[in-house]
Amino acid sequence: MEKEKKRKYSQWKFITAFVVVMGLFAGVKYAFGIEVKLEVRGEREEGRGMMEEVRDNERLEMSGEGLEVSDDIENTEDEVLYEEVTDSVDSVAAPVMVGGAHRVRGVWSYSACFPDSQNVQIEAAQKYGIMPVKNRKEAEVLVKQHRLVNICHSPFYAIDNLTHSIPYLVPRAQHLLNTICLNFIDSCQVKGLPIHLPIVTSVLRTTDDVSNLQRGNKNATTNSCHCYGTTVDIAYNKFMPMTGTYESQAALLRWNEPMKRVLSEVLSDLREEGQCYVKYERKQGCFHLTCR
């Protein structure tokens, strides 16, 4: 009888202890669970705040705010078709650290990313180019000597109706022009854009061409980079369809921002590689570039 009471008592004591322990465990778990949830929730809220801040910064950058952009806006003959308010690009790459300072990688502003002035380009023109020629007859002599190349016939670009220049370049500049246009066509294919050709608007100028140009444009410089056969202007406000001809002006694609951006990215890459100097020309609607 005593053994039976002792067994019941032990069994009851074991069950009670088990329930108490489980209750304590459940209480601790519940309390710990609340703590974890609050901590995770706090981390999530902090993460959301950071993401919103990043998005706000991206919106500011994409809208051009906070970027140093020139206010000097020039009008062009194609302004009726498209009004360019600013030269900032609406896709901004992440800043990278260079020499302890922030630098934006990629084309974020046409003027800031292509600042190479006449003074910078003239040194390369004189180094790699020919001596200025007086007229077309003298230029033809250099073509026969293979010091100049006729660039008229190419499947990679179109030639504008040249009025103050002739379609000749030194071989170094011709190679650069072919590289630019091939890279442009390839980039258009990769980005899913319809294939168009860049349009060359100015090439080699003789001293006679410069004189004629100065009659209508007093700002035209006498010692132009175009006089050395190293410099070419490529339009960013018009492109020619691959299947079209330049004579059909109506077929030209005008003021297409995606095409302009692709062209600028190609030029930026080559400029970073040290193959050319590039100047963004607002009034002329072109990129003015010289081979290096």
Query: DSSP labels for 20-31?
Result: HHHHHHHHHHHH
Q: pTM of the predicted model, to two decimals?
A: 0.67
Give the burial class of 50: count Cβ atoms within 10 A of its Cβ; 0-12 exposed, 13-18 middle, 19 or more buried: exposed
Residues 160 and 108: their CA atoms lie apart, in Å, by 28
Cα 73 to chain centroid, rounded? 20
Dihedral angle of Cα 101, 104, 105, 109, to the nearest 10 degrees: -140
Give the pLDDT band (50/70/90) at residue 36: very low
Q: Residue range 126-150: average pLDDT?
A: 97
The pLDDT tens digits of the residues spanning 175-186 come to 999 999 999 999
pLDDT of residue 61: 39
Which tokens sit at 8? 């019941």
Give the pLDDT band (50/70/90) at residue 39: very low
The pLDDT tens digits of the residues spanning 49-86 come to 444 544 444 444 333 333 333 323 233 344 333 434 44
Which tokens sit at 133? 């020629």
CB atoms within 10 A of CB 208: 14
CATH number of 110-291: 3.30.1380
Helices (H) and strands (E) in the chain, counts: 7, 12
DSSP, res 230: -
Percent of the chain residues topping a pLDDT of 70: 62
Q: Residue range 193-202: average pLDDT?
A: 96
Which tokens sit at 202? 């100015």
pLDDT of residue 245: 63
Answer yes or no: is pLDDT of 122 > 80: yes
Percent of the chain residues topping a pLDDT of 90: 54
pLDDT of residue 106: 77
pLDDT of residue 40: 36
More confident residue, 217 or 87: 217
Answer yes or no: is pLDDT of 191 > 50: yes
More confident residue, 137 or 244: 137
Annotated domain spans of the chain: 1-62, 110-291
Residues 229 and 291: their CA atoms lie apart, in Å, by 10
Answer yes or no: is pLDDT of 271 > 60: yes
pLDDT of residue 218: 64
Pair 200, 160: CB distance under 8 Å? yes
* Tokens 């009025």 found at: 163
CB atoms within 10 A of CB 88: 21
Q: Residue range 212-235: average pLDDT?
A: 87
Residues 132 and 229: their CA atoms lie apart, in Å, by 8
Helix, strand and coil content of the chain, in percent to the nearest 5, comes to 45, 15, 35
Which tokens sit at 54? 């990043």
pLDDT of residue 105: 54
pLDDT of residue 188: 96
Give the pLDDT band (50/70/90) at residue 213: confident
Which amino acid, 150?
Answer: N
The pLDDT tens digits of the residues spanning 230-263 come to 999 999 999 999 876 666 666 899 999 999 999 9
**Mean pLDDT lowest for which of 2-11, 148-157, 276-285?**
2-11
Of the candidates 248, 243, 233, 210, the one whose C-alpha atom is nearest the C-alpha of residue 283 is 233
Answer yes or no: is pLDDT of 199 > 80: yes
pLDDT of residue 242: 84
Q: How high is the mean pLDDT of the chain?
A: 77
Residues 47 and 87: their CA atoms lie apart, in Å, by 34
